Structure 1
Amino acid sequence: MIHVYRPSDAHHWSFTPSQLFSIQDIAHVDSCDVWVLVRGGVVRQAVSELGPGDPAP
């Protein structure tokens, strides 16, 4: 599972890339996308597609 936190307010999102892939490393994170290195390639996950997420406690 990948956890993404927005530094400005600690808002949290999480996701798991397709079960067909084995997560190797995080390649890049910016305000729009998370790029994950997986066995056999790279997966891009748009932050906007992760839903509302969880506000900071």
Structure 2
Amino acid sequence: MELVIQLLVFLLIVLSTILVVGIPVTLASPGQWEESKNSIYISAGLWSGLVIITGVISSFTV
């Protein structure tokens, strides 16, 4: 079970790093918001889901 939590936390860290770099670059680039809006919303939803799933699974460990 701990291996699953470690994998989820690793994925959360990787996705957070990508979003921290990617979102400001997208917003600063002219015209990129319209092209990248859907992928940013999907990534933010995936990040939120990972946070919730990691919290739920970690509550089952002792």
Q: Which has the higher contact order (CA 8 A, sep 6+)?
A: 2
* TM value normalised by structure 1: 0.22
* TM value normalised by structure 2: 0.21
Higher helix share: 2
Higher strand share: 1
